[in-house]
């Protein structure tokens, strides 16, 4: 696996760098989130948020962040910095080199000692993470999706909440964190992606200080089917009920016909052209919204609807009917065309953002997949109705989640 990936582009006036550290989803997820927050607070050279901000202003207002995301059965720590291209620097400064040096400082010289991170930062960020975890219920739409994923993958790493849990948070000790971070840096495969007017040789030496490669084997997430359909109903103070249907398939980006899987999902619930939108929302007026999405690393397909609580059974049945319609070949050439057009348009939109483009590519590379966007687009264009039908036949409904008013 090449740990340095350059996305050459003259589309932007900025250059962007992402250092991505993929970590297994396990009982350390809470610690990983706390570490990301602490690393963002300061380093030995830049010990405060103000010092970091001032340095970024010296780099003509560079943008820096540490983002935590969950993809498949991995948690990604993304250290991201974006700065203007060197050609726009007023005094000929080497801004790309300085940006890399800044990431090196943040990652390799965090503000900590044998006793842990700076204690006031530790206490503050621990409380902030507690608030974040406890705020999970504030957004009922996202909570319903997360609960569906947990129910559908119960007992598997994917079911772990990306921010961790309060019980784990309460027992974290500051003194343990330096060794954990040292282990992460020494034992995890890390990737460095750069996007802009950049040559690989121009960043290679500095990049070698950031990336680590232990040749750790890439583990493909499991996709085993589960027997039966688990139905879970939760009552909450909501005006609009949330209905989610969770399906397993035997198709992921690693195996099976992934491109047909993507097109099939688009036909089912990928936009205003889809069966769910037109049948559940428009024709039967059963949903305020209705859509589906896939998790390409786990082979999951999830349908989400916002409905009146009295319409639970009818809405559920019509959603299932739309899956069966695709299985039975009830697909028009117009639906196929619209589905592919929407998917390709969305993919091309990714190229408008350096962060989005690197985020998309880094997830593929972390799992050992060498596709680029044009490969994916070419694969989608070749999908026909027969392939969509065959892919749909692998779908099995495994879980139903319903959030309704008390």
Other beta carbons less than 10 A from residue 108's beta carbon = 12
Q: Which domain holds residue 168?
A: 4-207
**Quick check: is 331 in a domain?**
yes
**Quick check: is 81 in a domain?**
yes
Q: Give yes or no: residues 53 and 117 share one domain.
A: yes
Q: Give yes or no: residues 175 and 292 share one domain.
A: no
Other beta carbons less than 10 A from residue 383's beta carbon = 22
Rounded Cα gap, residues 82 and 36, in angstroms:
18
Q: What are the strands, taking DSSP E only, across 171-273?
A: 191-196, 230-236, 241-248
Q: What is the pLDDT of residue 285?
A: 86
What is residue 83's DSSP assignment? E
pLDDT, tens digit only, all 406 positions of the chain: 478 899 998 889 999 999 999 999 999 999 999 999 999 999 999 999 999 999 999 999 999 999 999 999 999 999 999 999 999 999 999 999 999 999 999 999 999 988 899 999 999 999 999 999 999 999 999 999 999 999 999 999 999 999 999 999 999 999 999 999 999 998 888 999 999 998 888 888 788 888 876 556 777 777 777 788 999 999 999 999 999 999 999 899 999 999 999 999 999 999 999 999 999 988 888 889 999 999 999 999 999 999 999 999 999 999 999 999 999 999 999 999 999 999 999 999 999 999 999 999 999 999 999 999 999 999 999 999 999 999 999 999 999 999 999 7
Q: What are the strands, taking DSSP E only, across 259-368?
A: 287-295, 300-307
Which is nearest to 68 in space by CA: 34, 102, 27?
34
Q: Give yes or no: residues 58 and 196 share one domain.
A: yes
Q: Give yes or no: residues 253 and 137 share one domain.
A: no
- State the average pLDDT for the chain: 94
Q: What is the pLDDT of residue 213?
A: 67
Q: Give yes or no: residues 52 and 174 share one domain.
A: yes
Q: What is the pLDDT of residue 117?
A: 96
Q: What are the strands, taking DSSP E only, across 217-299?
A: 230-236, 241-248, 287-295
Interstrand relation of 4-8 and 191-196 (parallel, antiparallel or unpaired):
parallel
Rounded Cα gap, residues 342 and 274, in angstroms:
10
Q: What is the pLDDT of residue 66?
A: 98
Cα dihedral sign, 227-233-234-238 = positive
Last residue of a domain, one of 207, 241, 266: 207
Residue 379 region by backbone torsions, left for phi larger than 0, else alpha for psi between -120 and 50, else beta = alpha
* Total of domains in the chain: 2
Q: What is the pLDDT of residue 54?
A: 98
Q: Give yes or no: residues 73 and 124 share one domain.
A: yes
Beta-bridge partners for 350: none
Q: Residue 17: enclosing H or E segment and its boundaries? A: strand 14-24
pTM above 0.85, yes or no: yes
Q: What is the pLDDT of residue 227?
A: 81
Q: What is the pLDDT of residue 216?
A: 64
Q: Give yes or no: residues 237 and 289 share one domain.
A: yes
Q: What is the pLDDT of residue 219?
A: 77
* Relative orientation angle of helices 354-366 and 333-350, to the nearest 10 degrees: 100
Interstrand relation of 191-196 and 14-24 (parallel, antiparallel or unpaired):
antiparallel
One DSSP character per residue, 111-127 reads SEETTEE-HHHHHHHHH
Rounded Cα gap, residues 138 and 274, in angstroms:
29
Q: Give yes or no: residues 267 and 175 share one domain.
A: no
**Quick check: is 212 in a domain?**
no
Q: Residue 31: enclosing H or E segment and its boundaries? A: helix 29-41
Angle at 26 between CA 31 and CA 17, to 5 degrees: 65
Q: What is the pLDDT of residue 212?
A: 73
Q: Give yes or no: residues 254 and 111 share one domain.
A: no
How far lies 165's CA from each of 147, 170, 179, 339, 371, in Å? Answer: 14, 9, 21, 38, 35
What CATH number did the domain enclosing 103 receive?
Answer: 3.30.830.10
- Give yes or no for a contact between 319 and 303, defined as CB atoms under 8 angstroms apart: yes
């Amino acid at each position: 696996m090449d740990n340095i990936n350059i996305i050459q582009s003259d589309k932007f006036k900025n250059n962007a760098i992402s250092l991505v550290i993929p970590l297994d989803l396990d009982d350390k997820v809470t610690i990983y989130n706390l570490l990301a927050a602490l690393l963002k607070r300061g380093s030995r050279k830049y010990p405060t948020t103000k010092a970091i901000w001032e340095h970024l202003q010296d780099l003509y207002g560079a943008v820096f962040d540490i983002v935590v995301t969950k993809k498949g059965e991995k948690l990604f720590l993304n250290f991201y910095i974006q700065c203007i291209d060197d050609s726009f620097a007023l005094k000929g400064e080497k801004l790309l080199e300085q940006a890399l040096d800044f990431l090196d400082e943040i990652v390799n010289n965090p503000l900590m000692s044998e006793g842990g991170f700076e204690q006031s930062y530790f206490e503050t960020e621990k409380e902030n993470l507690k608030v974040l975890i406890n705020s999970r219920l504030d957004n009922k739409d996202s909570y319903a999706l997360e609960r569906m994923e947990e129910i559908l993958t119960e007992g598997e790493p994917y079911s772990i909440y990306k921010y961790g849990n309060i019980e784990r948070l309460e027992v974290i000790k500051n003194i343990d964190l330096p060794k954990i971070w040292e282990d992460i840096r020494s034992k995890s495969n890390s990737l460095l992606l750069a996007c802009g007017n950049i040559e690989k040789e121009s960043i290679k030496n500095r990049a070698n200080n950031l990336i680590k490669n232990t040749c750790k084997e890439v583990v493909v997430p499991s996709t085993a089917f589960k027997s039966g359909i688990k139905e879970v109903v939760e009552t909450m103070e909501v005006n609009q009920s949330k209905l989610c249907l969770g399906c397993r398939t035997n198709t992921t980006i690693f195996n099976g016909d992934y491109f047909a899987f993507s097109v099939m999902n688009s036909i089912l619930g990928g936009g205003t052209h889809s069966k769910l939108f037109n049948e559940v929302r428009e024709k039967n007026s059963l949903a305020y919204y209705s859509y589906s999405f896939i998790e390409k690393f786990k082979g999951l397909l999830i349908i989400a609807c916002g409905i009146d609580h009295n319409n639970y059974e009818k809405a559920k049945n019509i959603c299932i009917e739309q899956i069966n319609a695709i299985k039975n070949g009830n697909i028009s050439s117009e639906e196929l065309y619209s589905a592919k057009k929407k998917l390709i348009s969305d993919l091309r939109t990714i190229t408008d953002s350096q962060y989005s483009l690197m985020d998309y590519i880094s997830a593929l590379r972390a799992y050992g997949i060498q596709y680029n966007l044009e490969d994916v687009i070419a694969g989608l264009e070749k999908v026909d109705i027969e392939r969509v039908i065959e892919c749909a036949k692998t779908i099995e409904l495994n879980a139903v989640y319903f959030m309704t008013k008390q």
